[in-house]
């Protein structure tokens, strides 16, 4: 049984924690470098085994494709403890990325400090950053995990659009649904 970890997390309009983490592409990913090249960065905490992630993975790829020419990128981060959930190991992340033909970086937070700093609690959970590294939206991808065709509100798409228009992001917080982040014991 995994005990919940108290996370304070990054507040809306607060600066996101910088990170330097390994990706399945054999590169080291630095948030600071993304901030230099993108107007919006959607940090999405995901993992390999969560059924909610599996429901959303194609929608995330569609969002990445829709916004890639507008200086927007998604970054998937897996912070789950692979000792409890071997499906979430780095090697299995590589397989997951290849099998799902991810079109955005997928990186590993083995120490879980990035997830704790952001305040991640679920997979999938989105943290949308502006070019300055400020958190502008956190929470849900959209309002219907089970049926992409029945989505009424695409929270992440709307937040990205508002951010790119230099508008306030409303809502700035929604309550993510999904599996809990699997913290180390």
pLDDT tens readout for residues 16-72: 999 999 999 999 999 999 999 999 999 999 999 999 999 999 999 999 999 999 999
CB atoms within 10 A of CB 35: 17
Mean per-residue pLDDT, 154-161: 98
The 8-class DSSP code of residue 102 comes to -
The Cα 109–Cα 104 span in angstroms is 16
Q: Is 42 helix (H, G, I), strand (E, B) or coil?
A: strand
In sequence order, what E strands does 8-157 have? 20-22, 28-30, 40-45, 72-78, 106-108, 122-123, 125-130, 135-139
pLDDT of res. 5: 43
Mean per-residue pLDDT, 106-124: 97
pLDDT of res. 185: 86
The reported pTM is 0.94
Does the structure show a pLDDT above 90 at 92? yes
Does the structure show a pLDDT above 80 at 6? no
pLDDT of res. 8: 73
Mean pLDDT of the chain: 95
Mean per-residue pLDDT, 155-175: 97
Q: What percent of the chain has pLDDT over 70?
A: 96
pLDDT of res. 3: 42
Query: What radius of gyration, in Å, describes the C-alpha atoms of the chain?
Result: 15
Q: Are 70 and 161 in contact (CB under 8 A)?
A: no
Q: CB under 8 Å to 181, separation ≥6 — which residues?
A: 5, 45, 79, 80, 112, 115, 120, 121, 122, 123
Does the structure show a pLDDT above 90 at 7? no
């Amino acid at each position: 049984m995994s005990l919940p970890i108290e996370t304070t997390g990054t507040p809306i309009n607060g600066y996101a924690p910088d990170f330097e983490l390994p990706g399945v592409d054999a590169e080291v990913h630095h948030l600071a470098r993304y901030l230099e090249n993108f107007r919006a960065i959607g940090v999405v905490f995901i993992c390999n085994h969560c059924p909610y992630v599996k429901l959303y993975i194609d929608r995330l790829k569609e969002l990445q494709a829709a916004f890639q020419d507008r200086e927007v990128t998604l970054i998937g981060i897996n912070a789950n403890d692979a000792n409890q959930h071997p499906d979430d190991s780095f090697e299995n992340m590589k397989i997951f990325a290849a099998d799902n033909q991810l079109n955005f970086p997928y990186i590993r937070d083995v120490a879980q400090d990035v997830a704790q700093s952001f305040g991640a609690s679920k997979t999938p959970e989105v943290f949308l950053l502006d070019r300055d590294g400020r958190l502008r939206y956190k929470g849900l991808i959209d309002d219907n995990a089970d049926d992409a065709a029945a989505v009424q509100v695409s929270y992440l798409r709307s937040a990205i659009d508002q951010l790119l228009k230099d508008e306030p992001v409303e809502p700035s917080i929604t309550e993510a649904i999904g599996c809990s982040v699997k913290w180390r014991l």
